[in-house]
Amino acid sequence: MSRPEIAVSVAYAERDLQTVIALTVPAGTTAAEAVERSAIRARHPGIPAGVALGVYGRLVAPTTVLEAGDRVELYRALPADPKEERRRLAREGRTMGRPR
């Protein structure tokens, strides 16, 4: 007897390219398994092996079992700590908003 299938998606964004791949996977599939099934690394070869994963903005372990409708997100490392960047800009009398 086969397991029922659920619909999930896998998402990754770079500065100029965003990808969301819809999948149908067997119930019981983990976040890491969904990433592998999506083949998203073929579209984004720079994704590191130990990339952080989340489901709708909440960090999850790669072994987290997905539920129907979940969106697995792969998170890039931030180029700078936002808090430190705000402090640096404040010292310079600037803000993180667009220049005017």
* Domains of the chain, residue spans: 5-91
Residue 80: predicted pLDDT: 66
Does the model's pTM come out above 0.85? no
4, pLDDT greater than 90: yes
CA distances from 53 to 18, 61, 81, 95 (A): 16, 7, 19, 30
Instruction: Give the residue with greater pLDDT, 53 vs 87.
Output: 53
Instruction: Enumerate residues 6+ apart whose C-beta is below 8 A from 68.
Output: 6, 7, 8
Residue 34: predicted pLDDT: 98
| 12-21, 52-61, 75-84, 85-94: range with lowest mean pLDDT | 75-84
- Highest CATH level, class, for 5-91: alpha beta
